[in-house]
Amino acid sequence: MTCRILRMLMVAMAAVLAASPMAMAQRKAQPPISLRLYVLDCGKLDIPDVTPYQLKKEDMATTVMSVPCFLVAHPKGTLMWDVGAVPDNAIPTGGTGRLRGYGTSTKTLKSQLAEIGYMPADITYLALSHFHWDHVGNANQFAGATWLVRKLERETMFAEPPSPRTEPANFSALKNTKTVIVTDSDYDVFGDGSVVIKSAAGHSPDHQVLFLKLAKTGPVLLSGDLYHYPEERKLSRVPTTEFDASQTIASRAAIEAFLAGSGAQLWIQHDFTGNAKLKKSPEFYE
């Protein structure tokens, strides 16, 4: 075989390998030059009854809630923000995983991370907006990350008996994980002001939201469950099931003032219509 033919063969083989999903999955992501935000599909919630949200079906665009997970990739490391409702091991290949009857998911978080070159074991930090079951589904996969959590939220998660609003088995591995107890109202994850966890208590004892300063997109705030439906914000409705409704009202006022001051967009995580318009991984915001 001539050298030229050999070279042509090698080029062809490399092209085939690069195009295969296997090769895609095995390609390990390199730290980005600037901050990136990936929106991952962690399913949806078909809320059976919206009366606890002080809303009427007829006043709403939809009663369905989106369940996104977020990967923040910073030059100095990565942060997972909220990890879904249905754990990956409850999602059958090619089928639908279900939790509590109305939480469903068709894609595993692990496969979506693999598609962009990450494995749960590679993730530097884990932060949850709060402890409710629809935000902690895959927490056990991130037990190798450093967990950024506030005191009351962690205490609530490991209280006996456990809160009926969560699924303790889905985050049990966090109990002994490397943990940073966040005490400041604002916690600057990478030290450059581009990724800041902000206290916004009320929905749960130490509920929090995430501020991101993206170079091209501009500032974005991920809501956690400060609001669930956009109609709650528009009509100033506070759910009856809040941990502390007066705290929620105060947190909403503080965050609204922050949004006005910073010019950040608010992404309401459970807003099904808003979420449907967002670019999904492997695309990203930067």
Residue 134 near Zn ion by CB under 5 A: yes
Q: Which residue type, as a one-letter code, is found at position 251?
A: S
- Contact between 70 and 80 under an 8 Å Cβ cutoff? The reply is yes
Nearer to Zn ion, 225 or 242 (CB): 225
Q: Which residues of 155-183 are buried (b: 16+ CB within 10 A; e: fewer)?
A: ebbeeeeeeeebbbebbeebeebeeeebe
Answer for which of 225, 231, 232, 271 binds Zn ion (CB under 5 A) is 225
Of 209, 198, 212, 219, which is closest to residue 264 (Cα–Cα)?
Answer: 219
CB-nearer residue toward Zn ion: 107 or 207: 207
Q: Which is nearer to Zn ion, 104 or 124 (CB)?
A: 104
Least Å distance, CB 225 to Zn ion, is 4
Task: Report the nearest approach of Zn ion to the CB of residue 164 (Å).
Answer: 15
Label the pairing between strands 265-267 and 97-99: unpaired
Question: Which of positions 8-27 make contact with Zn ion (CB under 5 A)?
Answer: none
Q: Which stretch binds Zn ion (CB under 5 A): 49-57, 70-78, 198-206, 219-227?
A: 219-227
Q: Round to whole Å and give the CA distance between 210 and 162.
A: 26
| CB closer to Zn ion out of 88 and 134 | 134
Cα(277)–Cα(30) distance, integer angstroms:
27
Instruction: Select from 84-92, 136-144, 151-159, 218-226 the region that touches Zn ion (CB under 5 A).
Output: 218-226
Interacting residue ranges for Zn ion, rule: CB under 5 A: 134, 225
